[in-house]
Amino acid sequence: MVAYDYNSNAILAEPMTSQTGKAMLDAYKRVTQTLTTRGLRPKLQHLDNEASTAMKSYMTKQGVDFQLTPAVMHRRNAAKRAIRTFKNYFLAILCSTDPEFTLKLWDRLLPQALTTLNLLRGSRSNPKNLSSYAQLPGAFDFNRTPLGGVLVHKLPEARGIWAPHAVQG
């Protein structure tokens, strides 16, 4: 499940074991718990057509209003752009893993992927120009927490037509 919080401009993702109503509800609860602990309790949710009945019922009980986005009207759902950003970012991460990496362990890459993605995104509601990451779990200590390898973007003029767009940094 990929979620987007407009105020913090944060993209959140939670792995689901299946697309059943229970799995969807469990993932939604984890996402809202993350937001609520940082004072960003959801009040209005824009959902796509795949939202389960259990999730809608839970949201009603929690006092969260929701609106369903019509099937082909992606422009009306602001989260669609954030979801596309996450998908592109995560696919790039999967493509840059070691060739020996087992893809069935993709969910283990989520914490670092969300950290690095939200460090790059600015917060909308914080006038101090903090990152989305800083608004959710707090300031990131680069000295204390090493990140994985770094890829450096190569300008189109400095690479071949079919060459990778980045090199190991």
- Report if residue 162 sits inside a domain: no
pLDDT value at residue 13: 94
* Strand pairing category for 10-13 and 2-5: antiparallel
- Report if residue 165 sits inside a domain: no
pLDDT value at residue 14: 94
For 84, the domain range is 2-156
- Report if residue 14 sits inside a domain: yes
- Report if residue 106 sits inside a domain: yes
Q: Please name the residue that has the structure tokens 């003029």.
A: 157
- Report if residue 16 sits inside a domain: yes
- Report if residue 83 sits inside a domain: yes
pLDDT in tens, 32-84: 999 898 888 888 888 877 778 888 889 999 889 988 777 666 565 677 888 88
Quote the number of domains for the chain.
1
- Report if residue 113 sits inside a domain: yes
What CATH number corresponds to the domain at position 46? Answer: 3.30.420.10
Segment (H or E) for 92: helix 79-95
- Predicted structure pTM score: 0.79
Burial class of 29 by CB neighbour count within 10 A (0 to 12, 13 to 18, 19+):
middle
More confident: 150 or 94:
94
- Report if residue 60 sits inside a domain: yes
- Residue 67: closest CA among 40, 49, 41: 49
- The model's confidence at residue 124, banded by pLDDT at 50, 70 and 90, is confident
Position 11 pLDDT exceeds 90: yes
